[in-house]
Structures are given as structure tokens and as C-alpha cells.
């Protein structure tokens, strides 16, 4: 990544949302700024609820030429015309690649582990995500430090996502050494998520 390039934005949905309201909020954020990809990150195993959310969010994203992937649920991605799947670690990447084909997006969350990230890359992931980078409810309290991103960006060609607990200060620190910012909880709890996104990213502009 050239030093003058700013990281792209990878938007992550809340784990819970009202299907009657969230697609409009998502649309407003997508219309406010160029977004590279959206991850549908609903919690739980209610397949019908997740499927309806997938259809609604896909309509919003594809109407704006934005890719959408889903956490974990490969078969739902295939059945509902999503662009790919986001997995936890390297497990399942080869199977997902086989199912989705070369054009499908397969990503992996690798916590704070350089080793897991390299394994995911070797298995065929299109990107790896490390995090949380700041204070977050994710994981076991460990944090993906800036030196992990600096090393990865220097040594590994595979795109990397920084996510979890982003602040303007972390955005400023990580902007030169990450390809994507994974942004979700930082904005969805605000009255105006699009404005919250702009404020968060102003440190890197």
C-alpha cells in the first residue's frame, strides 16, 4: 500500500438490530462515504432472522455497488447472493474458497496472532483482520498492537483489517500501517452513525 493511500472502510453491522430500521441507517452511512465492504455480523443462530437481514442488507449494499460478506454462515452467503464469508481463524477457509470460487471473498479474524494470520493467508484468505486494537468487549482482553500491523504491512502482501475499539487516536496511529479499518460498534450506538464515522476518520483525513 502506498504511503499516501488512506485505509479503506470495512463496515461491520451490530450483533443485534431492528430489521425495520437498520437498512435505512446502513444506506445513510454508505451514501455518506466510500465504503469498501460490509460485514453482516448478527449474533445467534436464528437462520430465518439472519436470512431476512441478509436479503435486506444485500439489497442496500448491491444497490450501491458495495460488497457484503457474512460472519460464519457460508451456506447463507451462497443461498442469498452475498459476496463472501468472514470466518474465525484459518479453519474452514479452504472449504469456503471451494464453495465460493475464486471471485468470492473469504476473510478471517485472527485476534492478535501473527501465526494465525499467516495460516489464514496460506489457506487462501483474501484478507485477515486483527483486533481488538483498543478497549473492547471482544476477545480475552488482549490487544492487537500497532507493531503487529507494522510488521504485517511490511512483510506480508495480504490485506489487513484493524478492528475493535477504534478511537481517533488509534485511527491516526494505524492509518499508515493498515489496509482497512473495520468499524462497527464505534458508530452504531450514536444518534447519527454517518456523522460519527466522519468524526472517527477525521484523524486520518
What does the pLDDT look like over 146-163, one tens digit per residue? 999 999 999 999 999 999
Are 113 and 131 a contacting pair, CB within 8 Å? no
pLDDT at 136: 66
Domain assignment of residue 103, yes or no: yes
CATH number of the domain within which 48 lies:
3.20.20.70
Mean pLDDT of 36-55: 96
- Other Cβ atoms within 10 Å of 36 Cβ, number: 16
Query: Over 60: is that where the pLDDT of 4 sits?
Result: no
- Other Cβ atoms within 10 Å of 6 Cβ, number: 13
Q: Residue 40: CB partners within 8 Å, gap ≥ 6?
A: 13, 50, 53, 54, 57, 68, 69, 70, 71, 82
Query: Over 80: is that where the pLDDT of 19 sits?
Result: yes
Residue reference for cell 437481514: 53
Are 161 and 182 a contacting pair, CB within 8 Å? yes
pLDDT at 123: 97
Question: Residue 180: which domain range?
Answer: 8-201
Q: What is the pLDDT of residues 99-138, one digit of tens each?
A: 999 999 999 999 999 999 999 999 999 999 999 999 866 5
Query: Over 50: is that where the pLDDT of 2 sits?
Result: no
Domain assignment of residue 3, yes or no: no
pLDDT at 3: 46
- pTM of the complete model: 0.95
Q: How many angstroms separate the CA atoms of 191 and 98, rounded?
A: 41
Domain assignment of residue 2, yes or no: no
Domain assignment of residue 79, yes or no: yes
Specify the number of domains making up the chain. Answer: 1
Amino acid at each position: 500500500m502506498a504511503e499516501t493511500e488512506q485505509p479503506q472502510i470495512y463496515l461491520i453491522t451490530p450483533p443485534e438490530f431492528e430489521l425495520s430500521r437498520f437498512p435505512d441507517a446502513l444506506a445513510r452511512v454508505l451514501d455518506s462515504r466510500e465504503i469498501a465492504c460490509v460485514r453482516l455480523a448478527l449474533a445467534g443462530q436464528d437462520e430465518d432472522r439472519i436470512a431476512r437481514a441478509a436479503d435486506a442488507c444485500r439489497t442496500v449494499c448491491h444497490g450501491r455497488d458495495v460488497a457484503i460478506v457474512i460472519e460464519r454462515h457460508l451456506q447463507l452467503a451462497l443461498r442469498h447472493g452475498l459476496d463472501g464469508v468472514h470466518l474465525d481463524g484459518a479453519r474452514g477457509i479452504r472449504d469456503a474458497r471451494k464453495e465460493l470460487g475464486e471471485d468470492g471473498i473469504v476473510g478471517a479474524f485472527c485476534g492478535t496472532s501473527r501465526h494465525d494470520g499467516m495460516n489464514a493467508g496460506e489457506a487462501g484468505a483474501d484478507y485477515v483482520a486483527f483486533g481488538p486494537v483498543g478497549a473492547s468487549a471482544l476477545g480475552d482482553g488482549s490487544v492487537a498492537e500497532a507493531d503487529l500491523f507494522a510488521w504485517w504491512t511490511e512483510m506480508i502482501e495480504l490485506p489487513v483489517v484493524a478492528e475493535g475499539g477504534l478511537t481517533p487516536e488509534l485511527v491516526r496511529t494505524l492509518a499508515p500501517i493498515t489496509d482497512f479499518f473495520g468499524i462497527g460498534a464505534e458508530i452504531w450506538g450514536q444518534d447519527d452513525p454517518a456523522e460519527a464515522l466522519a468524526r472517527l476518520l477525521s484523524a486520518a483525513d
